């Protein structure tokens, strides 16, 4: 079935895997760099696109290079609030009704400047909330002709860090110079999770924690204590897993960290990346795990463009394991990952999906619905169900407008 870009832009969407620090507007980053004297390889949009934010990258390491500049810019609270506001506006302008904005607050904190966790969370919340109120006060939203806009905040713990990348982590190392790095990272994750629970209880829309950063060599089990704490305090759990490591990483995320969702899950179906010596039949292990994920409706946050950029061995998007996820009836959502770093939008990601994989309208409706039903919506379950129902009623309205039948 052929879907037009106009339809894909107009249909309701969510983005559940959206990094704030990878999704700034380029002109905002340049303006901030000049204001804060951030040393960058260029202060022109074309120069940054050529040297930093490319269409293609040679590795995950090159892909992550730009975050040193975006994080430096976001340590200014005014820029942080502005970037959050603009991110919401950019999503609203392409029919995205719900976003879960994730970022690592500890990368933006600065003990020297007195910028603490709550200040970082507060500014992001204020930027997003201003955009939400402006949108929901529109006449067509109030009249029920358009679904409302909403958002949640996901706090990312980092698997690995360098002191040069963050004043917070630099201070951490100075205070505890003899602590092993793995213990230090786990300690920082626990500190973040406790803070996230405390601020959620104060009314901030913090909906989940995440584990991001270098995956290989930094297993999820190291962060089990933080995820235990989140689990006991009713926070959602998502984990970057299967992005740069195999199915065993996804297994750990689900069984040891209670992950409700998996970020990327790219390597789920690759038997060559199953390495534990006790797993003799690697294909059976993958079959059992993928069936378990499908049965338990653990949702995979699929980021097509990002995966193509960080895995240059993919020569054709049709070889992306998203096709196996569809075949195995796994619950999936389409996400951008990083709008700036990947130079993409939600409309573009859906266009890649429907133009390269067999997705009839009924399956497309399921994927859209998962983005709302499997969200960590910052309200009660009853409120989330009603919100999802309103959005999917709008989906049916749009499919009828474009003469597409969601029952076919």
Please give the angle made by the CA atoms of 378, 383 and 387, to the nearest 5 degrees.
Answer: 95
Q: Active site residue: 243, 248, 301, 349, which one?
A: 243
The yes-or-no answer on residue 243 being catalytic is yes
Q: Is the C-alpha dihedral spanning 289, 331, 99, 201 positive or negative?
A: negative
DSSP per residue, 188-233? HHHHHHHHHHHHHHTT--EEEEEEES--TTS-GGGGHHHHHHHHHT
Count the neighbouring beta carbons within 10 Å of the beta carbon of residue 189: 26
**Contact at 8 Å (CB) between 274 and 250?**
no
**Contact at 8 Å (CB) between 31 and 43?**
no
Task: Provide the token pair at 244.
Answer: 């740069």
DSSP per residue, 20-54? GGG---HHHHHHHHHHHT---S-SSHHHHHHHTS-
Helical ranges in 246-380 per DSSP H? 247-255, 282-296, 304-310, 322-327, 346-356, 361-373
Which residues does the annotation mark as catalytic?
243
């Amino acid at each position: 079935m052929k879907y037009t870009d106009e339809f894909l832009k107009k249909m309701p969407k969510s983005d559940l895997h959206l990094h704030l620090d990878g999704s700034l507007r380029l002109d905002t980053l340049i303006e901030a760099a000049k204001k804060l004297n951030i040393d960058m390889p260029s202060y022109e949009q074309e120069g940054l696109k050529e040297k930093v934010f490319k269409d293609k990258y040679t590795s995950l390491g090159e892909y992550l290079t730009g975050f040193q500049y975006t994080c430096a810019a976001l340590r200014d609270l005014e820029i942080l609030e502005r970037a959050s506001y603009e991110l919401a506006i950019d999503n609203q302008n392409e029919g995205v009704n719900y976003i879960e904005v994730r970022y690592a607050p500890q990368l933006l904190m600065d003990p020297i400047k007195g910028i603490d966790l709550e200040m970082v969370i507060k500014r992001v919340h204020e930027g997003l909330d201003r955009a939400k109120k402006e949108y929901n006060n529109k006449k067509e939203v109030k009249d029920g002709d358009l679904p409302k806009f909403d958002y949640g905040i996901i706090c990312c713990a980092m698997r690995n860090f360098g002191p040069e990348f963050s004043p917070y982590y630099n201070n951490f190392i100075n205070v505890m110079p003899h602590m092993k790095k793995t213990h230090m990272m786990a300690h920082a994750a626990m500190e973040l999770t406790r803070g996230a629970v405390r601020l959620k209880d104060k009314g901030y829309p913090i909906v989940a924690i995440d584990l991001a950063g270098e995956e290989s060599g930094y297993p999820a089990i190291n962060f089990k204590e933080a995820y235990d704490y989140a689990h006991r305090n009713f926070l959602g759990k998502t984990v970057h897993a299967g992005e740069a490591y195999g199915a065993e990483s996804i297994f750990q995320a689900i069984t040891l960290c209670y992950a409700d969702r998996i970020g990327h899950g790219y390597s789920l179906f690759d038997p060559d990346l199953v390495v534990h010596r006790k797993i003799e039949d690697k294909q059976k292990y993958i079959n059992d795990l993928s069936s378990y994920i499908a049965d338990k409706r653990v949702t995979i946050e699929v980021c097509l463009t990002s995966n193509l950029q960080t895995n240059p061995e993919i020569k054709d998007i049709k070889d992306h394991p998203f096709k196996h996820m569809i075949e195995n009836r796994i619950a999936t959502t389409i996400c951008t990952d990083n709008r700036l770093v990947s130079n993409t939008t939600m409309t573009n990601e859906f266009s890649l999906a429907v133009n390269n994989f067999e997705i009839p309208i009924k399956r497309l409706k399921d994927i859209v619905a998962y983005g709302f039903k499997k969200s960590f919506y910052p309200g009660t379950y009853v409120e989330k169900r009603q919100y999802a129902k309103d959005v999917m009623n709008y989906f049916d309205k749009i499919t009828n407008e474009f003469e597409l039948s969601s029952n076919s």
